Amino acid sequence: MKGSHFSRREALRLAAATAFGSAVSSAQNARREVRVFDVRDYGAVGDGSTLDTAAVQRAIDQAGAAGGGAQVLIRGGKKYLIGTLVLKGGIDFHLADDAELVVSTNPQHYTGGGVITATGADGLRITGTGNINGRAREFMSRYDQPNEWWLPAGFRPKMFVLTACKGLEVHDITFSEAPEWGLHMIGCEHVLVDNLKIRNLLDVPNCDGIDPDHCRDVEIRNCNIVCGDDAIVVKATRQSAGYGPSANITVHDCVIQTQDAGVKIGTETTQDVHDIRFERCEIRSSSRGLCIQARDEGSVYNIDFRDIKFVSRYHSEPWWGRGEAISLTAIPRGLQSKIGTIHDVRIQNVSGRAENSVRVQGVKESRIRGVTLENVAVTLDRWTEYPGGLFDNRPTTAYPGIEPHGNPGFSIRYADNVVLKHCSVKWGDKRPDYFTHALEAEAVTGLELTGFAGEAAHPERDADVVVR
């Protein structure tokens, strides 16, 4: 029996060792089978001044023709000047070590509106630890001192325009000084964006961080973003092709610094945007911490914001947002515009410091409904010198863009079935006259308050809670 037992155990061990060895061998073979297309072998110089677009494109084309799994290698220690590149499906576009792609400022070096582009490139991977330098200021004409931003000179490329790609992965790379939108994905599905480092300039307009647009089944995680415009924004822009809604998108564990919205949906909502979750993010600076801006005919629904900390402040006039802590607004873009609805939104375990209200703002044409705020704690204070007592409705020509308005802790207007559960407002040391009630509700039905805490900023003048 003892010998039989030993033989069985030994047989199992040998079988396991054989299986392990086969797995290792298969992995090693897989690694050996990856074909590497080094851009230097195709004529790339990498001196930062010679245009390397054609050489890099040749490597991309050859890798795409080689079949799945081929790698286009951008070696470190070099700077490669490029215009538009068109990536192919099934390749790994790899920026190794400290490799840098330097964006050309010559409009003639672009065949479209982007630097790194792809259309229908299924199974595309963009990886590595290198950087793409967008040279943003060189696309600007001059610095506008009163408005504290750079004025565009004309043509500005987006850093990425990736269209209708399935099984897309973008991870570990850095891009910096984007002259326009950063990672713009249009109609992409099954996407992973992981550990991106974005270092755009805070005083350059329109340099968004990450823009999933008409995309589905997307995970954005572990990103560290500095940018002048919206950091992570889910959109449904007006397109000639029918890319469908934006849906099933999760954003989590990101660190953000911006002069516009931290995590956002809109303003472009030409189709529905639904089943979106933002969670475990830290917004260190913004003009709106959490934001939904519905301005078009699509509806926004089934949205979750969870476990987020934020700081939101005023910036100069051109930057949208007036320091709102949270801003959910459904306002038609123009007098003749159709407007969808915002409904079924949950905001839980969110806290921060801001210069303006938590705001839920519908209009007669589009009432917001089914919003729950639970464990939302905001401290309102003033620490910048910009004019206050305002709400920012932009972009709209149907309503005032900048609306003079007192700033309560929570402002709810033209909304139904709004629940505030264990929410609170506190006031900082600076309490200007336009800081008002802890909660102000106007044209609201089905308002529920459970465990709401907070008094008016000026209790000798204003009531804590006002419902009109």
**Confidence tier at 462 by pLDDT (50, 70, 90):** very high
> Does pLDDT of 25 surpass 90?
no
- Pairwise pLDDT comparison (196 vs 10), residue with the higher score: 196
Per-residue HEC secondary structure of 102-140 comes to EECCCHHHCCCCEEEEEECCCCCEEEECCEEECCHHHHE
Averaged confidence pLDDT in the chain: 93
Distance CA 93, CA 168 (A): 12
**What pLDDT shows up at residue 9?**
36
**What pLDDT shows up at residue 63?**
98
**What pLDDT shows up at residue 380?**
98
Query: How far is residue 236 from each of residues 157, 249, 266, 268, 283, measured CA to CA in Å?
Result: 20, 13, 7, 5, 23
Distance CA 265, CA 268 (A): 8
How much of the chain, in percent, has pLDDT values that exceed 90? 92
Q: What is the mean pLDDT of residues 308-313?
A: 98
Give tens-digit pLDDT for 207-262: 999 999 999 999 999 999 999 999 999 999 999 999 999 999 999 999 999 999 99
**What pLDDT shows up at residue 307?**
98
Q: Where are the domains of the chain?
A: 259-468
Q: pTM for the whole thing?
A: 0.92
**What pLDDT shows up at residue 123?**
98
**What pLDDT shows up at residue 19?**
39
Encode burial over 72-99: b for 16+ CB neighbours within 10 A, e otherwise.
Answer: bbbbeebbbbbbbbbbbbbbbbbbbeeb
**What pLDDT shows up at residue 68?**
80
Q: What is the enclosing helix (H) or strand (E) of 5?
A: helix 2-33
Identify whether the C-beta of residue 279 lies closer than 8 Å to the C-beta of residue 304.
yes
- Which of these ranges, 33-37, 149-153, 255-259, 430-434, has the smallest mean pLDDT? 33-37
Q: What is the mean pLDDT of residues 341-347?
A: 98
**Confidence tier at 379 by pLDDT (50, 70, 90):** very high
**What pLDDT shows up at residue 6?**
33
> Does pLDDT of 21 surpass 50?
no
Paired strand residues for 133: 102, 176
Burial of 428 (0-12, 13-18, 19+ CB in 10 A): middle
Checking phi first, is residue 248 left (phi over 0); if not, alpha (psi -120 to 50) or beta? left
Q: Which runs of consecutive H residues, i.e. helices, occur in 259-317? A: none
**What pLDDT shows up at residue 15?**
42
**What pLDDT shows up at residue 26?**
39
**Confidence tier at 7 by pLDDT (50, 70, 90):** very low
> Does pLDDT of 127 surpass 50?
yes
3-state secondary structure of 276: strand
**Residues 14, 19, 21: CA angle, nearest 5 degrees:** 90
